[in-house]
Amino acid sequence: EPEVTQTPSHQVTQMGQEVILRCVPISNHLYFYWYRQILGQKVEFLVSFYNNEISEKSEIFDDQFSVERPDGSNFTLKIRSTKLEDSAMYFCASRRETTGELFFGEGSRLTVL
C-alpha cells in the first residue's frame, strides 16, 4: 500500500535557525498539505498545495513559512527562523482524487530550544 513518508522523524534545533521538513506524497496524488499538532492540542491546517502553487493557507502560515515541490516527488516545508512556539508535530498529507480521502505521514517532531 503506497504511503506518505516524512523525514526527519525528529529534529531538534535552536531558536532562530532554519528548518526544512521533507515529505514524499503518494505518487499519483495531486493535492498536498501540511498540518501541525502542538502537544495536547488539535491538529491544525497550515497550507495546501496544488499544481505547484499554494491553494489555501491558514493564519499560522506567515512569512516565516514556505513550501516547495523541488522535484517530481518531494514536498518540503521550510521554517526560516524558528520560534519556541513552532515546537510541534508536523504532518504531511496527500489526497486521493477519486474519493477525497486524505492520507497522512507519520509526522516530523520539531523541538525548538
Partner 1 sequence: KQEVTQIPAALSVPEGENLVLNCSFTDSAIYNLQWFRQDPGKGLTSLLLIQSSQREQTSGRLNASLDKSSGRSTLYIAASQPGDSATYLCAVETGANSKLTFGKGITLSVRP
Residue 107 within binding range of partner 1, rule CB under 8 A: yes
Place of cell 498536498: 32
Helix (H) or strand (E) holding 55: strand 53-57
Residue closer to partner 1 (CB basis): 14 or 41: 41
Gyration radius from the chain CA atoms? 13
Whether 18 and 2 have beta carbons less than 8 Å apart is answered as: no
Q: Which of 42, 62, 70, 84 binds partner 1 (CB under 8 A)?
A: 42
Whole-number minimum distance, CB 10 to partner 1, in Å? 10
Q: Which of 26, 29, 45, 60 binds partner 1 (CB under 8 A)?
A: 45
Residue closer to partner 1 (CB basis): 31 or 75: 31
Say how far apart CA 113 and CA 93 lie, in whole Å: 27
